[in-house]
A and B are shown apart, each in its own frame.
Chain A
Amino acid sequence: MSADSTGRSGVASGTKPVLSVTDLCVDYYTDAGRLRACDHVSFNLYPGQRLGLVGESGSGKSTIALALMRMIKPPGRISGGRVMVGDDDLTAMSDNEMRSARMRLIGMVPQAAMSALNPVIRIRAQIQDVLQVHEPNLTYSQVQARILEVLEAVELRPEVASLYPHELSGGMKQRVCIAIAVALRPKVIIADEPTSALDVIVQRQVMETIGRLQREMNIAVVLIGHDMGLMAQFVDHLAVMYAGKLAEIGPTPTLFAKPNHPYTHMLISSLPTLGQKGVFRGIPGITPSLLALPTGCYFRTRCPYVMDVCSSEAPTQVAFDGGHVASCHLSAVPGGLTGRVEAERDAEATLHSARAEKGTGEAGPNKTGGFS
């Protein structure tokens, strides 16, 4: 079942998605066997939206980014699904058509900004070649004007054009990459952990620049990251990945207020809040290897609400109001995840008051919730 209604909240009906991903699958053929790093991923992105893609390291975020650019290298392969940008089907394009689509239809801000620029040629030449290859009709002076224009757009001085990458700070390099990504005004930009190599202050500034350009140019952005808290402040939609699958996707406020997948719920409650600062509550258990996934639901080895059906059947995607989709068997249970969470909270409260009455400090048998 595809998540067709995904992300439609706040979008006038009839608006076509700018990026439409349907049942995208990517396999890697390793010595130890085939692994599916992206498993039937489906989502829609509408003009001007910001979608955050979060998940633990190894959950397949970069794989999706590369698959959208059709840059999966052997031993990997896109083994199924479709990627549409507007009316263009990227998965059906010839290699040369796809080459010409990169940065023009679908831009990318690389994860490794520190080493993504060619160390031996000047910044000017690195912006120039992308302009010239996609817009061969530009005159020399038009190209030069465009270079200065995009540098200004990312708040870099014109002199930066004459510098080499090693003469730039990390933040400046990332800005150059952003300038290249917006230079051809693509409809979609994918940014794979664009600030992971930068320090916190620079991170903020770079994110603000991405946000401003996104608004000004009405580009849709897929922002990949592993920090859910940081992401929540920046994106209007969130997609949570687990072991190559989309666990849940929906508008950020909805996801925070009423998550429908235990993994999302645990990620949110593990975020440090002002009340209990410094106490980082991780998620217990380890991510299963993509080569040895459990039957049924991939999350069942770590899920506190696991049921019998979870080990026999893989959950399908269930759509909720406002473009909210989750894949969890709890959706079919009355009360859903919320009901289970509340029941647990009530039980704990009862236990606490009972203990207070008795005056004993002993821990109750039911106290472990899996994310304490």
Chain B
Amino acid sequence: MRTGYVVQRILLFFAIMWLAATINFVLPRLATGRDPIREQLIAQSMRGGFMSTSMEVMVKEYRVKFGLDEPLPKQYVTYLWNTLRFDLGKSLTNYPKAVMNLIGEALPWTLGIVSFAIVTSFTLGTILGALIAWPRAPRLLKFTVPFLLTFSAVPFYILGLILIYFFAFQLKWFPIGGGYPIGTVPSFTLGFVTKLVYHAMLPSLSMILASTGGWALGMRGMMVTIQGEDYMNYAEAKGLTDSRIFFGYGVRNAMLPQTTGLALSLGQLIAGAGLVEVVFGYPGIGSLLGQSITQFDYTTIYGIVFFLIVTLGIVLLVLDLLYPLIDPRINYEQA
């Protein structure tokens, strides 16, 4: 039954989260070659210009602070409990700042441009693809196919670099990078919001340009296939209007695989978005991850990875729960 399916799907979500958390716990502890704490302390003391003789004492002290002196099972339980409370530990580089706080600061930036870019490119690509495949749509649309093919073949970040070169560096229409002008203080004034949007334009555009083509081509293929279906011919025999056949019969049915495609490529889209942020120096999760990697900030790296897994898990859960609503043939008992 419906509720059974929902409960089952939610349980599956938690099982995946537990697995992700466990891998996140085990992986750093398997990396015996390197000791992030010692490396951090050495790096910091070198920056300070002197070598502390009591290095070993400090390492020990930090190990206690991070709970690394405890027996492994106890560490594991503490870790799971903390994770459950969204406590992903403290950053090594920005100690004592909590990883969750770092993520919290970066999240709105990413959420803003990524959700905007995904929603826009998915909608745009889907409509465009459907129209290209529609025999009674304007011929002109068919000429967009080569461009779509080209753009869909170029990775996000390369497109980003090209856009920066032409529109920011050469034409100077847009800023070269950043989330807002250096020297301004974030506030909720119209002036600042305008600047925010202005800065978000190029990174969003590079993501939209890079992924619209893919959605359009996928949708076009689906629509072509669906036009051979018996129910499309029958819809025409019913004397329905073109728009009713296009939306109610064609697009409505082609949306099913298109939505599955969205769910499947979500992880890839988020990874691509991360690279775009790095290219544009945009202060989101992608840039935070980039920084953490260069600075060996292990707790933050693992925190972000885990956070991304959870986000992806939630989005897929929602899509899965919504899917039966758009495809009535999904059998709840079998799902």
Residues of A within 8 A of B (CB): 69, 71, 99-104, 108, 110, 112, 115-121, 129-130, 133-134, 164, 166, 177, 180
Instruction: Say yes or no for B238: interface residue by CB 8 A criterion.
Output: yes
Residues in chain A near residue B12, CB distance under 8 A: none
**Nearest 9 interchain pairs by C-beta:** A102-B239, A116-B234, A112-B230, A115-B230, A164-B328, A130-B238, A108-B237, A103-B239, A118-B231
**When the two chains form their complex, are residues B248 and A118 in contact, meaning their CB atoms are under 8 A apart?**
yes
Stretch at the interface among B82-90, B163-171, B183-191, B249-257: B249-257
- The reply to whether B256 and A120 contact each other, CB–CB distance below 8 Å, is yes
Chain B residue at minimal CB-CB distance from A101: B239
Q: Is chain B's binding surface mostly helix, strand, loop or mixed?
A: helix
A120 in contact with B241 (CB, 8 Å):
no
B interface residue numbers (CB < 8 A to A)? 229-231, 233-241, 244, 248-249, 252-253, 256, 326-329
Interface centre among B231, B236, B248, B329 (most CB of A within 10 A): B231
Q: Which of B230, B237, B326, B327 contacts A71 (CB 8 A)?
A: B237
Known: A117-B231, A119-B253, A121-B252. A133 touches B241 (CB 8 A): yes
**Could you show 14 A-B contacts with beta carbons less than 8 Å apart?**
A71-B233, A100-B239, A101-B239, A108-B237, A110-B237, A112-B230, A116-B231, A118-B252, A120-B327, A129-B238, A133-B240, A133-B241, A164-B328, A164-B329
Report chain B residues within 8 Å CB of A100: 239
Taking A121-B252, A166-B328, A166-B329 as contacts, is the C-beta distance between A110 and B244 under 8 angstroms?
no
Contacts A129-B240, A130-B240, A177-B234 known; 6 new A-B pairs at CB < 8 A: A69-B237, A110-B237, A117-B234, A118-B252, A120-B326, A134-B239
The reply to whether A121 and B248 form a contact with Cβ atoms under 8 Å apart is yes
Give bound CA distance, A82 to B328, whole Å: 43
A239 to chain B, nearest CB (A): 21
In angstroms, how far is the closest chain A Cβ from the Cβ of B193? 41
Which residues from A are CB-within-8-Å of B256? 120
CB–CB B326/A99 < 8 A: no
The CA-CA distance from A117 to B231 in the complex, in Å, is: 5
Q: Which residue of A lies closest to B136 (CB)?
A: A95
Contact of B233 among A99, A110, A121, A134 (CB under 8 A): A110
A115 to B235, CA, bound (A): 12
- Whether the pair A129, B230 counts as a contact (CB closer than 8 A) is no
Shortest beta-carbon distance from B228 to chain A in Å: 10
Given A118-B248, A166-B328, A166-B329, A110 contacting B239 (CB threshold 8 A): no
Separation in Å of the B249 CB from the closest CB of chain A?
A: 5
Which residues of chain B are within 8 angstroms of A71 by Cβ–Cβ distance?
Answer: 233, 236-237
- Looking across the interface, which residue of chain A has its beta carbon closest to that of B249? A118
